Structure 1
Amino acid sequence: MLIAIGCCAAVTVATLFFNIRLFYICAFVTVACAVLLVWQVQLAKRQISRFLVTMGQTLTTVQQDALTGFPIPVFVCSGEGEIVWCNRLGQKEILGEENCYGKSIYTILTGVDITRTCPEGGYDTEYKGRFYAAYVARAVSEEEELYMVYFFENTELKRYAREYFETRPSVMLILVDNYEELQQNMKDNERARVMGQIEYAVSKFVNDSGGLLLKTERDRFTAVMEERSLRGVISARFTLLEQVRAIETETKMVPTLSVGVGRDAATLEESERFARQALDMALGRGGDQAAVRSASGYEFFGGVSSGMEKRTKVKTRIVATALAELISGSDNVLVMGHRAADLDCFGASVGIMKAARLMGKDAYVVIRRSTNLVTLEYERLLQNGFEGMFLEPEDALPRITRKTLLVICDTHVKHILESEAVFDACKNVVVVDHHRKMVGHIDNAVIFYHEPYASSASEMVTELVQYFGDKLRLGRPEAEALLAGIMLDTKNFIIKTGVRTFEAAAYLRKIGADTVEVRRMFALSMESYQRRAKLVANAEVYRGCAIAVSPDRDAPDIQVTAAQAADELLGIIGVQASFLVFEMNGGVSISARSMGQLNVQIIMEKLGGGGHLTMAGAQLSGMPLDEAYRRLVAAIDQYFEENSRN
């Protein structure tokens, strides 16, 4: 203001040399402005004085003198967040000598409403590069409602806490999936070269990530990595998998890795346990992928290739011996699969049930007659002497004793079993399944026989019964049921068919299975055939995926028709996978198939389903058909986006 008055006076003096009348006018204006400014300054001082007196009277209730010299920053704010007073530390340490009056507390304490009840831990905030814990207390005066805001600086604590979480170690277990297969039929120098390249790729990957690596066995590695480094590895989606897959061998066999990571564990011991569980999950899903296990669950990366078939049958013989002993020591045997049983589930169940009966035990297949997808085969077996061997779940419950053995076929997830009540009532459980392992699998089984490389559960059961004893020989009806299961899951020996698949089929043919009779199990009615043809004709191709939507709600045999239509769509040029979307039982179901280039299991898992690399499905409840279609398209987009990074 003084500068402004001085400038006006200088201009007034200057006008004296030009015009005397102009000088008098300017002098009058300058004097008037000066008087007005002085008056306004005095008025402002009186207002500030009254304000400070009022605040002093208000703050008397909160001990103003104590707050002024309080060892932490304190601010007094109105209900609108305007700062009306602060102590010396608040002015100096937080505001940096800025004027506090008229400033809003929300410029310091962002995203907070001071009029609400303050939580016990206060509010975390950052201002000018420093961290604080802020606490708010309400102070009511006679004139207005005020709020006291206390700031406790914890910059160093936050820095150390951040460093603690950034440097938390995580254990990573790395396994060469097909080590034994790589060693077979390989020259010594080729074997050394391939393993050397694998070890170099693993070592470089861990070292570049700032981790510590130790080779524990000929095909296993253990690494320890800090959280900050692991986060980068996860964001890059484990590029090590692709690097090892790119190693060339003379036998054209592709080496693959399985990786298990224990993250966010309280101790190194717990992290190692998490890593082992994650590695088991990765192997159970077919290998060639990484699984990260944390306290909140699992994350999966990779898994774009099919599992490597194991040539050795040592594990099968061991499991068969153990299962035969369990059957011999049981009172009776119940065999159960998943809901809406298909030919693979039904064939495997019938094979185990018949084998147990040949061992002299009462054995039954637990299956709902009204909801299964094997009506033709079910009726055919009833006509061939299987009357009384199939039980509804409600009829099976009274037969359960302490020594009842429950064998679960073609699934390893509790919530899709034919009857959870039967499962809960049985103490001794055996699981035989080939689907890739899912989160929430049955974990209390006496025997968990799980081979994701197998074509079908029927193939696994066929191998098992061969080791039950030379005198145990299945009959023609159950042999044909097993062969039908294999043909269903391999699409007539086209998809996921290995050497052991043909060996199992040859054994079934040897004991009397008739391929013509098996083929008749896949027959459709004329209405179902026309419905399938309509679905195929109306399919659309999106990013190499054929998608068909059935307009018929709860159509008869829609599950079988949709599955067969999905198989038929794979014969179209340029189609890598097919998806059939249809309404059933008040929800939307999706049947997915692929030829192996695209992993439909990963896509279905994004929708809450699961299955296998070439065959999967999902059920979406409480959702219209168009919304399910949009979610499917979004899951396909996400799959391609994730795999484009690998």
Structure 2
Amino acid sequence: MKRWLLLIIALIVLGTSVYLYLPYFVFESGSHLTAFILLLSSFVFIFTAVYLTANYQNRQKVKTLQNRLSMWTKLSYHVNQVGDEVFNELPIGIIALDEEFEIKWANPHAKTIFDTRIMGKDLKDVHPQLHFAAMNNKIQFIIQVKNESYDVTYRSEYKFFYLFNVTDRELVKQRYDEQIPALGIVYLDNLDEALASMDVSEQSSLKGEYLAAIADWANKYNGFLKPYADERLVVVLFRKQLNMMIQDKFDILDKVRLISTQNQVRVSVSMGVASWDVNYEELGIYAQNAIELAEKRGGDQVVVNIQDQKIAYFGAKNDASAKNSRVGVRINAQTIKDFIEKSSNIIVMGHNQADLDAFGAMIAVYHMAIASKKNAYLVVDEDKLDKTVQKIYDIVKSDLPAFVESCMDSESIIKIMSQDSLLIVVDTQSPKMVMSPEVLEKASKLVVIDHHRVGEESFNALFSFIEPYASSTIELMMELLNFYNMEEEIKISPLEATIMYGGLVVDTNNFSYRTGARTFEVAAKLKDLGADVTSVKLWLRRDLMRTLEINHLLGNVEIYLEKFAFVVTTDVYEDRILLAQVADAALQINGVDAAFMIARMDAN
């Protein structure tokens, strides 16, 4: 009835209007009246048609909405059924947490994965890795539960975990990884020199003993072994066998050492192994880089380079042995000379907090450049010299003014550098430890001379002379100077010789660590050049405050297993020399085999 009320009112209004206005209309004939009635009828018809059309469209919309509502009602029922099946039937584990990371709800499959009684338990008690992921908002990761692998998706906004069993996929991936090829290059270090004094039969017997040991070791892991040059072999195997070698810590190193000990020779084995999912040409490059790294670190070790893993080192229990032949030193000296003479000027830089070894080596490189008639400049930021060198540098300023003119700070050095400048870095192989990273960044040509074992961080140098057998960089530099200029003797002043002698004393801990026959030869040479042993002793004396600080730190020493000394502090110490002196002082304690000084180098 309400639907028609508006129409009835409209008709009443229309009828009333016609009645009121009828007297004013004059119809001269019946045809006029008929025309007027037709006109009114047409108005009524038009309004009626408009109403019916509009009403029809509305009824169609209502019908459509009713159909959709009916469809959604049915679909919602099916969606609820599917949702129930996902939550309760499909093999998808679902866990809901509260704000305190306590499990508030778990579907049946999650209970099957973990435990039927996980509801109400703390997540870290159920699975620590899941708890760690939730704490750090990790979204996608894989976990292991009862020898099964699960892909996990974490929705931090809802605190929901979704777990999908991917054990089969991970097993296939593992089998694939195990079949990735591994290539090893094996060097027998110092073999020719060790066999030189033996007769032919002894040489053949000893060489055969080494090769038999290596062959037996390779056969143990089903590897393919093939010699490709004198003292050099190549071994091919799979990643699975390589992992077994790693578990056994490459026991071939010990077997070769035992043979050498029994025969009283100094022969060791070095190996570089690479395992990458690449073609064999690239794999060979990785293996070659690994064996070169093993050799630079002094040999008697294995360097393993596995894709997406940090480089691993095995062995290196013995100090590197010096090569008897000096042919290599002469060749290296001539190579460095070629680089110097092809450069416009020479920049020399040591490490941050430069000690006597670094400063003395810089002086030696300076004399090389002068011998080649090249301008040489030393990077000397006085605040980046250690306390002892700062004290000595004040003496150098007064006694060697011409040399000091070549010592500049980093900013001045950068201004005189060009594309043809050669930067020579001494006594460090870490780009992070140089005295001036800005100078290093600007250098387009770089040569590195050092005696430390190569680490993972190294320079992108044109040439590197790395000899871990050397006691110090000074030892290397003095050997290079002997072969650098055969026509004219390089003149070194007594003060410079004393500084270099001090570098030997510092790095060998007064000739008690990593010394060899060549170390004492270099010391004798420096003594001939006027090195003053007494001055070195005076320079290296500690001041009162330094002595008190060392004693203060030693007050925190802790002894573990009756032979390891640890000095640990939370304070920040930028002075590496001080930390080394603390460790050395701890090493003087009776019964201590190794000492460790642990401190922060900066606030981070």
Cα offset for 1:566?
Answer: 2.7
Tell me the equivalent position of 1:243. 255
Is 2:471 the partner of 1:455?
Answer: yes
Cα offset for 1:502?
Answer: 1.7
Question: How far apart in 1 are the matches of 2:497 and 2:472?
Answer: 14
Is the contact between residue 170 and residue 262 of structure 1 (CA under 8 Å) also seen in structure 2? yes
Cα offset for 1:162?
Answer: 4.4
CA 202–58 in structure 1, closer or farther in 2 if over 3 Å, else same: same
Is 2:212 the partner of 1:200?
Answer: yes
Cα offset for 1:339?
Answer: 0.5
Cα offset for 1:268?
Answer: 2.1
Tell me the equivalent position of 2:398. 383
Report the count of equivalent residues.
486
Question: How far apart in 2 are the matches of 1:367 and 1:84?
Answer: 70
Is 2:353 the partner of 1:340?
Answer: yes
Tell me the equivalent position of 1:81. 87
CA 331–154 in structure 1, closer or farther in 2 if over 3 Å, else same: closer
Question: How far apart in 2 are the matches of 1:241 and 1:569?
Answer: 31
CA 188–523 in structure 1, closer or farther in 2 if over 3 Å, else same: same
Question: Residues 497-576 of structure 1: matches in 2 within 5 Å?
Answer: 497-536=515-554, 539-543=557-561, 544-549=563-568, 559-576=576-593
Is 2:376 the partner of 1:370?
Answer: no
Cα offset for 1:232?
Answer: 1.2
Decide which of 367, 382, 386 is 1:354's aligned counterpart: 367
Is the contact between residue 319 and residue 447 of structure 1 (CA under 8 Å) also seen in structure 2? no
Cα offset for 1:536?
Answer: 4.8
Question: Residues 209-288 of structure 1: matches in 2 within 5 Å?
Answer: 209-249=221-261, 252-288=264-300
Cα offset for 1:184?
Answer: 3.6
Cα offset for 1:259?
Answer: 1.4
Is the contact between residue 212 and residue 224 of structure 1 (CA under 8 Å) also seen in structure 2? yes
Cα offset for 1:398?
Answer: 0.2
Describe the SS at the equivalent of 2:495. Answer: helix
Is 2:425 the partner of 1:405?
Answer: no
Is the contact between residue 573 and residue 602 of structure 2 (CA under 8 Å) also seen in structure 1? no
Question: How far apart in 2 are the matches of 1:513 and 1:130?
Answer: 70
Question: Residues 92-111 of structure 1: matches in 2 within 5 Å?
Answer: 104-106=108-110
Decide which of 313, 320, 328 is 1:315's aligned counterpart: 328
Question: How far apart in 1 are the matches of 2:150 and 2:445?
Answer: 57
Tell me the equivalent position of 2:431. 414
When Rg is computed on C-alpha atoms for both structures, the one with the higher figure is 2
Cα offset for 1:328?
Answer: 2.2
Cα offset for 1:550?
Answer: 6.2
Describe the SS at the equivalent of 1:225. Answer: strand
What do residues 433-487 of structure 1 show as CA deviations (whole Å, max 9, x unaligned)?
11100112012x1221111111111111111112222422222222222211111
Is the contact between residue 291 and residue 299 of structure 1 (CA under 8 Å) also seen in structure 2? yes
Cα offset for 1:134?
Answer: 12
CA 251–378 in structure 1, closer or farther in 2 if over 3 Å, else same: farther
Cα offset for 1:365?
Answer: 1.3
What do residues 159-198 of structure 1 show as CA deviations (whole Å, max 9, x unaligned)?
6654433222210111112223422433434333332222
CA 554–277 in structure 1, closer or farther in 2 if over 3 Å, else same: closer
CA 250–129 in structure 1, closer or farther in 2 if over 3 Å, else same: closer
Range 167-176 or range 265-274, more displaced:
265-274
Range 430-439 or range 284-293, more displaced:
284-293
Higher helix proportion, which one? 2
Is the contact between residue 108 and residue 127 of structure 1 (CA under 8 Å) also seen in structure 2? no
Question: How far apart in 1 are the matches of 2:535 and 2:335?
Answer: 33
Question: What is the identity, as a one-letter code, of the residue corresponding to 2:303?
Answer: A
Question: How far apart in 2 are the matches of 1:205 and 1:527?
Answer: 56
Question: What is the identity, as a one-letter code, of the residue corresponding to 2:320?
Answer: G
Unpaired stretches in structure 2, ≥5 consecutive residues: 1-70, 93-105, 115-126, 131-139, 154-161
Question: How far apart in 2 are the matches of 1:254 and 1:288?
Answer: 10
Tell me the equivalent position of 2:317. 304
Question: How far apart in 2 are the matches of 1:424 and 1:123?
Answer: 38
CA RMSD of aligned residues (A): 4.0
CA 395–229 in structure 1, closer or farther in 2 if over 3 Å, else same: same
Tell me the equivalent position of 1:635. none
Tell me the equivalent position of 1:429. 446
Cα offset for 1:534?
Answer: 4.9
Question: How far apart in 2 are the matches of 1:542 and 1:303?
Answer: 24
Identity, in percent, stands at 27
What do residues 289-314 of structure 1 show as CA deviations (whole Å, max 9, x unaligned)?
21111232311122222111112111
Question: Residues 124-143 of structure 1: matches in 2 within 5 Å?
Answer: none
Is the contact between residue 572 and residue 602 of structure 2 (CA under 8 Å) also seen in structure 1? no
Describe the SS at the equivalent of 1:467. Answer: helix
Is the contact between residue 76 and residue 84 of structure 1 (CA under 8 Å) also seen in structure 2? no
Describe the SS at the equivalent of 1:247. Answer: helix
CA 323–76 in structure 1, closer or farther in 2 if over 3 Å, else same: same
Tell me the equivalent position of 2:135. none
Question: What is the identity, as a one-letter code, of the residue corresponding to 1:330?
Answer: S
CA 248–152 in structure 1, closer or farther in 2 if over 3 Å, else same: closer
Question: How far apart in 2 are the matches of 1:480 and 1:273?
Answer: 44
What do residues 103-127 of structure 1 show as CA deviations (whole Å, max 9, x unaligned)?
935478889x9xxxxxxxx999999
Question: How far apart in 1 are the matches of 2:171 and 2:596?
Answer: 50
Is the contact between residue 336 and residue 365 of structure 1 (CA under 8 Å) also seen in structure 2? yes
Cα offset for 1:58?
Answer: 4.4
Question: What is the identity, as a one-letter code, of the residue corresponding to 1:173?
Answer: I
Question: How far apart in 1 are the matches of 2:327 and 2:502?
Answer: 26
Tell me the equivalent position of 1:631. none
TM, length-normalised to structure 1: 0.67
Question: How far apart in 2 are the matches of 1:123 and 1:253?
Answer: 53
Decide which of 160, 176, 180 is 2:192's aligned counterpart: 180
Is the contact between residue 108 and residue 125 of structure 1 (CA under 8 Å) also seen in structure 2? no
Question: What is the identity, as a one-letter code, of the residue corresponding to 2:481?
Answer: V
Question: How far apart in 1 are the matches of 2:447 and 2:146?
Answer: 62
Tell me the equivalent position of 2:34. none
Is 2:484 the partner of 1:468?
Answer: yes
Cα offset for 1:358?
Answer: 3.8
Is the contact between residue 529 and residue 561 of structure 1 (CA under 8 Å) also seen in structure 2? no
Question: How far apart in 1 are the matches of 2:147 and 2:183?
Answer: 34
Question: What is the identity, as a one-letter code, of the residue corresponding to 1:451?
Answer: E
Unpaired stretches in structure 1, ≥5 consecutive residues: 1-53, 65-74, 87-101, 114-121, 136-148, 583-587, 589-618, 623-646
Question: How far apart in 2 are the matches of 1:505 and 1:85?
Answer: 75
CA 576–384 in structure 1, closer or farther in 2 if over 3 Å, else same: same
Describe the SS at the equivalent of 2:82. Answer: strand
Question: What is the identity, as a one-letter code, of the residue corresponding to 1:78?
Answer: D
Tell me the equivalent position of 1:607. none
